[in-house]
Amino acid sequence: MQKFGFLLVFMCAGMLGVAQSSHQVNGDGSITFHLRAPGAKSVSAHLEGIEQPMPMTEDANGVWSVTTPPQEPEWYGYDFTVDGLTQLDAMNPDVRDSYLFLWNNVLVPGATLQPWELQPIAHGEVSHHIFTTKKVEDLPAGQEDYYVYTPPGYDVKRAEAYPVLYLLHGWSDKADGWLETGKLDWLMDWMIDTGKAKPMVVVMPLGYGTMKMLHSAPGERGFDDLIYLNNDGFGRLLVDEVLPRVERAYHVRKDRDGRAIAGLSMGGLESVNVGLRYTDKFAWIGSFSGAFLKTGVSAPLPGGNAKLKLVWIACGVKDHFLELNRSEIAQLKSQGYAVNAVETPGSHEWMVWRGNLLHFAPSLFQDK
């Protein structure tokens, strides 16, 4: 319904004669963007994974164009800047949204279907849950939500309950970030179908302990204090409200060895903090490009690694959080934690985080 609404807006925009655009993926993986913007003085395209905006060239009909270098098979986000103003592709209804940002999506396909593409295999199901929270005071009408992925063939009568991964989104994202942009359900379907990952339930909650996180920005005065407040509030929300609801409604394990927590960026920071704070609840912890602070906010615990099964911290080598991730890893190791530290190509982007999940999830709930 939401994407349909965007489409209506774009159709109306086209009929009113404002800037229109289109794109095409070429055989070599490059993408050619077109934008009709007669009278514009400066137009550029911004593609996820390319650091600088790409200037576009205008033809005699007022259509601006640019072709990217060849891109690896993946989903990419993009938008345009016209005379300093950001706009979406009015001819592409595939839009990724968050509380603060909008991007269009474009898929560069591979020679064969990729894990993040829809494939003719058995599929899991996704359910959406909404409830009134008593832990987060500033949610609109107090309504917290979370999504639950159940694997193909999910059986409430199975002798062995399913392990569960609590998977957290990043700053500005909504609860469906891992689904709409991350393609979580397709990734899990593929990993389970190929035997790379054990069948598991994945819970994706709205990851804010305070919605004030959206009213400030990294680097602004007081933002670090908000992070502490957010981590504390979210931890109580997850452990006291979401986790019990999931365990009442789904056939999942209720022991620490059957629970994992992981996330990207803000969610990576939350995963480390909540996971270490509640080692009686989680034995598996993962962070993808964690938005750690210079001072470090990980909760030191007596006894070092607290018999955790896995602490897995990954970051792209071009990510602006790379040094903070390295510092966080060093801090945890100094406290006695055994950390699996991973550095990958890439920056602070979804292509990296999908890859992180594809490597992290197969390590979960394995007998060692």
Q: What is the predicted pLDDT for the residue at 304?
A: 56
Average pLDDT over residues 296-320: 77
What CATH number is given for 125-363 in this structure? Answer: 3.40.50.1820
What CATH class does 2-108 carry?
mainly beta
> Mapping DSSP to helix (H, G, I), strand (E, B) and coil, where does residue 304 land?
coil
Band the pLDDT of 2: cuts 50, 70, 90. Answer: very low
* pLDDT score of 180: 96
Is residue 257 a contact partner of residue 161, using CB atoms and an 8 Å limit? no
pLDDT confidence band for 19 (50 / 70 / 90): low
pLDDT of residue 14: 41
Tokens of 55: 């200037």
pLDDT tier for residue 294 given thresholds of 50, 70 and 90 = confident
The answer for residues whose C-beta is within 8 angstroms of residue 2's C-beta and 6 or more apart is 97
pTM of the predicted protein model: 0.91
How much is the pLDDT for 293? 85
Residue 368 has pLDDT above 90, yes or no: no
The CA distances from residue 227 to 9, 217, 240, 277, in Å, are: 36, 11, 20, 15
Q: For residue range 20-79, what is the model confidence (pLDDT) as tens digits?
A: 568 999 999 999 999 999 999 999 999 999 999 999 999 999 999 999 999 999 999 999
In this structure, what token pair is assigned to residue 346?
């890439």
Confidence of residue 217 (pLDDT cuts 50, 70, 90): confident
Kindly state the average pLDDT of the residues 208-223. Answer: 84
| 158 has pLDDT over 50 | yes
| pLDDT given for residue 45 in this prediction | 97
Strand, helix or coil for residue 12: helix
* Predicted pLDDT of residue 216: 78
**Domain boundary assignment for the chain:** 2-108, 125-363
Instruction: Show the beta-strand stretches assigned E in the chain.
Output: 20-25, 31-36, 43-47, 54-55, 57-58, 63-67, 74-82, 85-87, 95-97, 102-108, 125-132, 143-150, 164-168, 201-205, 259-264, 284-288, 310-316, 340-344
What is the average pLDDT across 131-141? Answer: 93
* Number of CB atoms found within 10 A of residue 229's CB: 14
- Residue 221: the pLDDT is 77
pLDDT for the residue numbered 135? 92
168 pLDDT more than 70 = yes
Q: What is the pLDDT of residues 89-134, one digit of tens each?
A: 989 999 999 999 999 999 999 999 999 999 999 999 999 999 999 9
In the prediction, which pLDDT does 13 show?
Answer: 41
Task: Compute the mean pLDDT over every residue in the chain, rounded to the nearest whole number.
Answer: 91
